[in-house]
Copies of this chain bind each other. A is one copy, B any other.
Amino acid sequence: MVNNSYYSQDLHGPYELHDVGNLELEEGGTIRNCNLAYATFGTLNAAKDNAILVPTWYSGTNKIIEQVLIGKGRGLDPDKYFIIVVNQIGNGLSSSPPNTPAPGGMANFPHVRIGDDVRAQHKLLTEKIGLSSLALVVGGSMGAQQTYEWAVRYSDFVKRAAPIAGTAKNTEHDFVFTETLSEAITSDPGFNGGKYGSSADVAAGLKRHAKLWTVMGWSTDFFREGRHKALGFDSMQAFVDTFMTGYFAPMDPNDLLAMAWKWQRGDVSRNTGDDLASALGRIKAKTYVMPISHDMFFPPSDCEVEQRLIPGSQFRPMKSICGHVGLFGVDPELLAQVDANLNELLAAPGT
């Protein structure tokens, strides 16, 4: 196991751990005593019908979800709802390469799929928390992948779904983009086949990875309008070096790679013999598909094609020149659009 103080209660807590037991993986292999790290906000009501699940995105934890999406008066209001944020497997808090004992940890950590996460989360919600339905599943990016998987796989369990800035079946384009992220890391000699001593050994690769996020994560309009400077950086160089590189630098490379592998292969049609229309046709949740206008990972046009396959769903594109990384919460106008959509969706009858 590798000790990395980034993944700690100090920085990301409070969160709890729940052992869902041995998790048999879709790709083969098992995570023994698979732990899910989760944080809850608000109180479950007597009818147990006010629970909301929020799975995490690539590199994110329950903490950024809390900071960006949850709050009194917000769409995800802990005064009204019981909100459960579950960290995805491989994100450094739940079972992940560096916190898994040898011989299954680090470079030997097995390939995990979105479906594995969702089955593990289902165990947590049913066995530990005692739920039999969710008022809403909402998530951004890889959180949207998990949202779609939930809505397809447990179609009676999920009353409403709000996939934000993500797809049900990852595109070929996004697959190759994500591969460039992974290769930015693995091409660093310091990565050493996953057997590095600390993230600092892979600093050059992590910086290249951060530059790719800079290029694809925001938008050309964001930079033309000087929004990076409005965030307090006096140059593009400072924005890349301080903000983007600084954000990813402390993270564990094997964690990022585990999540990237999963991200590349998100695909609900695995439930229906590669028939995407059939998979999305299973969804019973009232669904709002919520892409971000300037998102270069999951552009609205890719999301709309899927939305049309979901019975009774609505296409709710949101506008932000922050692009995909608008998810980080730097654009208040985007957050207002998220809240407005979630308020409307939560007010609508579920299924």
A contact set with B: CB distance below 8 Å: 171-177, 179-180, 183, 187-189, 204-205, 208, 211-212, 214-216, 218-224, 228, 236, 240, 296, 299, 301-302, 305
What's the minimum C-beta distance from A9 to chain B, rounded to whole angstroms? Answer: 35
A103 to B283, CA, bound (A): 67
Given known pairs A187-B188, A187-B204, A188-B187, the reply for A172 and B211 (CB within 8 Å) is no
Instruction: Identify which of B205, B216, B224 contacts A215 (C-beta below 8 A).
Output: B216
What's the minimum C-beta distance from A228 to chain B, rounded to whole angstroms? Answer: 8
Closest B residue by C-beta to A208: B183
Copies in the complex: 2
A–B Cβ pairs within 8 angstroms, 19 of them = A171-B223, A171-B224, A173-B215, A173-B219, A173-B223, A179-B211, A180-B180, A180-B211, A180-B212, A180-B215, A187-B187, A187-B204, A187-B205, A187-B208, A215-B216, A216-B216, A224-B301, A224-B302, A296-B296
Inside 8 A of A177's CB, which chain B residues have their CB? Answer: 215
What's the minimum C-beta distance from A237 to chain B, rounded to whole angstroms? Answer: 9
Q: Is the CB of B221 within 8 A of A172?
A: no
Closest B residue by C-beta to A212: B180
Given known pairs A171-B220, A301-B224, the reply for A236 and B176 (CB within 8 Å) is yes
Inside 8 A of A188's CB, which chain B residues have their CB? Answer: 187
Closest B residue by C-beta to A226: B172
* Chain A facing B: main interface SS: helix
What's the minimum C-beta distance from A44 to chain B, rounded to whole angstroms? Answer: 40
Top-9 shortest CB links A-B: A172-B236, A173-B223, A177-B215, A173-B220, A172-B223, A220-B299, A180-B211, A176-B214, A187-B187
Inside 8 A of A220's CB, which chain B residues have their CB? Answer: 171, 173-174, 296, 299, 301-302
What's the minimum C-beta distance from A247 to chain B, rounded to whole angstroms? Answer: 15
A348 to B220, CA, bound (A): 33
Inside 8 A of A176's CB, which chain B residues have their CB? Answer: 211, 214-215, 236, 240
Closest B residue by C-beta to A180: B211
Closest B residue by C-beta to A218: B173
Inside 8 A of A172's CB, which chain B residues have their CB? Answer: 223, 228, 236
Given contacts A187-B204, A187-B208, 4 further A-B contacts (CB under 8 A): A173-B224, A176-B215, A180-B215, A183-B211
Inside 8 A of A305's CB, which chain B residues have their CB? Answer: 224
What's the minimum C-beta distance from A294 to chain B, rounded to whole angstroms? Answer: 10
